[in-house]
A and B are shown apart, each in its own frame.
Chain A
Amino acid sequence: MKALFAIIHRDLLLVMRRKSEVLTALFFFVVVTSLFPLGIGADAALLRKIAPGVIWVAALLSTLLGLHRMFAADYQDGALEQLALAPQPMVLLVTGKIIAHWIVCGLPLVVLAPIIGIQFDLDASSLYVLMVTLLLGTPVLSLLGSIGAALTLGVRGGSVLMSLLILPLYIPVLIFGAGAVYANSVGLDSSGHFSLLGALLVLALAFVPWVSAAAVKIAIE
């Protein structure tokens, strides 16, 4: 457990030393979601309708922007080998790296969502639902993304390949995440969507770290 916190602390410290890379992804999220109200104009009804989809798609893409950093830098300078040789289960270290990625690339989206939502004229209950779906959904994005990041280690043009591998896997999260906000806005019960997102999160937590750890081991062999 100490090692889990050690690796999270290490990754966060590295991010703090190089803030620009993280801020790029967040700035991307803010700008893309702000462009839609500006481009479409002051049609509040239309904005409310497209808000969940636009915000969720922007969240997917900005998560993707930060993904290649998850293992690539450590792979290049040999630190990944050292992690593999540390007397810790590789799964634990990979989990730590995924958590660090979520804290940096996922959590800020959850916090920013209400501010972005105001631009789309969402009411308080929709904002609340949007935040909860992002809170449940963004960890799944980080988890699934780690598989792509690990599989494309050492591949030339890996980040394009990674997008192609990972984006299709994001579809269920997108459907249930955006669906929950839409259902709430038309007065339907959105708890079913929450349950499904929660189930996706539990499922991903249970299997993905093992898959990613195996992929990392193959890459450094």
Chain B
Amino acid sequence: MTINTSTTSSNPTLALEARGLCCIRGERELFTGLHLRVAPGDCLHVRGENGVGKTTLLRLLTGLSNPDSGEVLWGGQSITHDPIAYHRELLFLGHRDALKEDLTALENLQMYAALDDVSLSVEKAMATLWRFGLRGRENLPVNCLSAGQKRRVLMARMLTRQAKLWILDEPFNALDIQAVQELQNLISEHLSTGGLVVLTSHHEISIPNVQVLEL
């Protein structure tokens, strides 16, 4: 299983690469010898049936779990070499939303900005929430928001995080048609500024430069 997304990168040092990834869960071999390369401006769409190892692959790429063999490289260097520098460039959204239910949408954004060491003024945070249709709801505790609205808070976080590499697990879940469109625009925008995206989804997505990896 090898995939090479277009290598017309302007800045080859910021590519995400996986070499010979192998993952075994229990007695089942999820994948072996998996190679992939994502260059700036490219989007990798990981597809496959349930339980085939999409989330596992994404977690390997973030460094949350370690592969049984093989390695993940960022900018030509193993991600275990300097995890903090890698995490500075990385935004990972799992299938759990990781929002604190008792805090408001605005507080969640500010809290993550402080932890991720990015500067975020209140005005900018508000403007971002408004962009994703949360005007008037920015000061409600997150447990008062619907599942779709929580995903919208996450979209606001994607924008304010200022990360180069986005790894998104099922980002289109629970979104209405309009929000799906907005998220696709957001991803396209990110790609056009030289960002990298790896995502899983069961839907067809209309984003430029998409490469599909079937697991």
Contact = CB atoms under 8 A, between A and B. Distances in A.
Contacts of A156: none
A87 B62 CA distance: 12
Contacts of A107: none
Given A14-B103, A220-B64, A86 B98 contact: no
A2 B66 CA distance: 29
How big is the A interface, by class? 20 to 34
A43 interface: no
Contacts of B112: 82
Given A6-B115, A86-B115, A77 B99 contact: yes
A144 B108 CA distance: 29
Contact of B62 (A6, A18, A77, A85): A85
B101 A77 contact: yes
Interface of B: 62-66, 84-85, 87-88, 90, 92, 94, 96-103, 107, 111-112, 114-117, 141
Question: 9 closest Cβ contacts across the A-B interface?
Answer: A78-B96, A6-B114, A17-B102, A87-B88, A78-B98, A87-B87, A86-B115, A82-B98, A79-B98
28 contacts: A2-B117, A3-B114, A9-B114, A10-B115, A13-B111, A14-B100, A17-B102, A18-B102, A76-B96, A77-B96, A77-B98, A77-B101, A78-B94, A79-B99, A81-B94, A81-B98, A82-B98, A82-B112, A83-B115, A84-B64, A85-B63, A86-B116, A87-B85, A87-B117, A88-B84, A89-B84, A220-B64, A221-B65
